[in-house]
């Protein structure tokens, strides 16, 4: 079962910031939050991840609440090419050093002119 909850769809105007929320109220202390996006018929693309501090890279910013029960992915200036399904994922450590990503249904972001 997915450990995250996301809205099924969102809209954003081109050039504006897209703020995608995610709830992960059952997250454990050592579990990271990852964000991926998927354009139709392609493999998921890694965007960013974090544990408890806010993170920023060339693609996006990740804001994690202090209690770690929710986070927000921010695309600062959305473009039409950012139209995709965005997955918020908790990375679960497994025995033997493996890790497991549990995917939910994601948020379908539509960026319009």
Partner 1 sequence: DGGITQSPKYLFRKEGQNVTLSCEQNLNHDAMYWYRQDPGQGLRLIYYSQIVNDFQKGDIAEGYSVSREKKESFPLTVTSAQKNPTAFYLCAATDNSYNSPLHFGNGTRLTVT
x/- mask, partner 1, residues 6-25, rule CB under 8 A, reads --------------------
Q: Give Cα separations from 30 to 80, 90, 106 (angstroms).
A: 35, 10, 22
Residue 96 as a binder of partner 1 (CB under 8 A): the answer is yes
Q: Quick one: tokens of 80?
A: 């039409």
Residue 93 as a binder of partner 1 (CB under 8 A): the answer is yes
Question: For residues 52-81, which are near partner 1 according to CB under 8 A?
Answer: none
**Angstrom distance (rounded) from CA 110 to CA 113:** 10
Question: Of 100 and 112, which has the nearer Cβ to partner 1?
Answer: 100
**Of the candidates 51, 63, 74, 110, which one interacts with partner 1 according to CB under 8 A?**
51
Residue 98 as a binder of partner 1 (CB under 8 A): the answer is yes
Cβ atoms of residues 15 and 113 within 8 Å? no
In angstroms, what is the minimal distance from the CB of 65 to partner 1?
A: 19
**Angstrom distance (rounded) from CA 23 to CA 96:** 28
């Amino acid at each position: 079962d997915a450990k995250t909850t996301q809205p099924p769809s969102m809209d954003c105007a081109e050039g504006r910031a897209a703020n995608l929320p995610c709830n992960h109220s059952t997250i454990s202390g050592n579990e990271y939050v990852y964000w991926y996006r998927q354009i139709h018929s392609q493999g998921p693309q890694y965007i960013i991840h974090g544990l408890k501090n806010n993170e920023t890279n060339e693609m996006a910013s990740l804001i994690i609440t202090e209690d770690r029960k929710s986070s927000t992915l921010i695309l600062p200036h959305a473009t039409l090419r950012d139209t995709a399904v965005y997955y918020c994922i908790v990375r679960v450590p497994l025995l033997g050093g493996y890790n497991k990503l549990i995917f939910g249904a994601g948020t379908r972001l539509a960026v319009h002119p």
